[in-house]
Amino acid sequence: MGRWRHGLVAAATIVTCWWTGSGITASNAAWLQWGGPSRNFMVDSTGLASAWPAAGPRRIWERPLGEGHSAIVAENGRLYTMYRPLGMLSMIRRSQSEGVIALDAVTGKTIWEHTYDAPTSGVDFSEGAGPHSTPLIVGTTLYAASTFKQLMAIDKATGKPLWSHDLIKEFGALPPDRGFAPSPIQYRNTVIVPAGGPGVALVAFDLQSGALAWKSGGFEFAPGSPILITVDGQDQLVVPGGNALVGVNPSNGAILWSHPNSTSYGLNISTPVWGADNLLLVSAAYNNGARLLRLSQAAGKTTVQELWYQNRMRTHIGTIIRLGDVAIGSSGDFGPCPTVAVDIKTGKVLWQNRDFARSTFLYADKKLIILDEDGALGLAAPTPAGLNVLAKAPILSNRAWTVPTLVGTKLYVRDRKNMLALEVGQ
């Protein structure tokens, strides 16, 4: 604790002192993609309450939805997500279709729904049925990827399909064994998505026409979603692969670098975390751990240096929040999954907290919003000494692996059956 401040002060004050990083976007009015405005699960919403009643925040509405781990995107009073319908026979045989749905953010009522065939044959849904990917909003269009690697462009106002590509049939992508999970990402006038297959590790399409822009790579597929970073002035796409992290030129798909990051079954799931200090943090479960890479670039060549590796932060399906020199996430694949804080500089675990089961995290207003897989919602202030839990309440009754979405002070959450809107403001 030598480098931390001594003495006890208010949790919010502590957070202000030890978090000096950047990366929160200037707008909290929309949540257009996986990870939110900056794809890092951080938003500049203010006015969050510092405590909740025992039953949790006020419920604005609740509605049935269905299976899937697709997160919720939001814009201009509408919410969009993906799901597999539940019905009378779903306990015997799952629905053989999926849907992309638009909802009214105020009432939760359906505005439109686009359904398509998605048979369950040949897919391991033992850990929950898809769809797992999260839609992307760009302008007037919603881009969504199905369990079976179908990328769709949909008019977000009407739900009308504009164009689509079957990555398996058209490009030779390999069928997904657990269902497709990576979320599409925009770069300039293209939408990019991992495909997984010989020569098609990644595929990019023109946003408007759907025409193929480029395809590239033969590295092993993983469920994790890519992120865009800038390394010494050069834009790069960081893609989790099954046994490596890969850096790609988002303009043409050229492979810029690759660094080993092997995980059992190729399950690199958690989204990498990029810092303005050119440090890239990645963590995975299944006999992996966490590693920190320093990237530098000159004359078109990227150098990758591994600064440390440790196996005490093994993030499975959750998210990681970096606050200055500290990264916070849930660690574990089987058994207990404590919340851990790791020193970015050394990889040392600073503290562990066991108030929550395996969790996903958002950060806003100097607070963490925590949703664990048992359906408990928490509010906490992270400090150098530990996690100051401000509130905790059971809000969902089914397995909850989907990270919440925060727009202003409205929080949208879902599990494998239901979806809720909550007021988390003061």
- Mean pLDDT, rounded, for 312-337: 95
State the virtual CA torsion across 242, 248, 254, 260 in degrees, nearest 10.
Answer: -40
DSSP codes, 226-257: PEEEEETTEEEEEEE-SSEEEEE-TTT--EEE
Edge-first strand order for the sheet with 190-194 is 185-187, 190-194, 202-206, 212-216
Q: Please state the rounded mean pLDDT for residues 41-50.
A: 97
Q: How far apart are CA 82 and CA 219, in angstroms?
A: 27
Q: What are the φ and ψ backbone dihedral angles of 171, each rounded to 5 degrees? A: -125, 0
Backbone angles phi, psi at 27, to 5 degrees: -125, 135
76: left (phi over 0), alpha (psi -120 to 50) or beta: left
Q: Check whether 1 has a pLDDT greater than 50.
A: no
pLDDT at 335 exceeding the cut of 90:
no
Q: What is the 3-state secondary structure (H, E, C) of 304-317?
A: EEEEEEECCCCCCC
Taking 60 as the threshold, does the pLDDT of residue 27 lie above it? no
Question: Would you give the DSSP letter of residue 319?
Answer: -
Residue 89, pLDDT score: 61
Q: How far is CA 284 from CA 108, 129, 263, 277, 311, in A?
A: 34, 21, 7, 22, 9
The pair of structure tokens assigned to 351 is 């503290």
Distance CA 110, CA 112 (A): 6
pLDDT tens-digit series, residues 401-422: 999 999 999 999 999 999 999 9
pLDDT of 5 strictly over 50: no
Instruction: Inform me whether the pLDDT recorded for 182 exceeds 80.
Output: yes
CA 264 to chain CA centroid, Å, is: 20
- Give CA–CA dist 143/182, Å, rounded: 12
Say what the pLDDT of residue 122 is. Answer: 87
Which residue matches tokens 């990645």?
282
Give the Cα separation of 389 and 160 in Å (integer): 44
- Return d(Cα 333, Cα 285) in angstroms, integer: 6
Output the pLDDT for position 414.
Answer: 98
Average pLDDT, the chain: 92
- SS3 of residue 266 by DSSP: helix
- Of the ranges 88-92, 120-124, 188-192, which is most confident? 188-192
* 208 vs 190: CA distance, rounded Å: 8
Q: What is the pLDDT of residue 198?
A: 94
pTM score of the predicted model: 0.94
Span 245-293, pLDDT tens digits: 999 999 999 999 999 999 998 999 999 999 999 999 999 999 999 999 9
- State residue 126's pLDDT score: 87
Sheet of 410-414: strand order equals 58-64, 418-423, 410-414, 405-407
Q: What is the pLDDT of residues 111-132, one digit of tens each?
A: 999 999 999 988 999 889 999 9
Closest CA to 368 of 21, 377, 343, 400: 377
Share of the chain above pLDDT 90, in %: 87
Contact assessment for residue 328 and residue 360, using Cβ atoms and an 8 Å cutoff: no
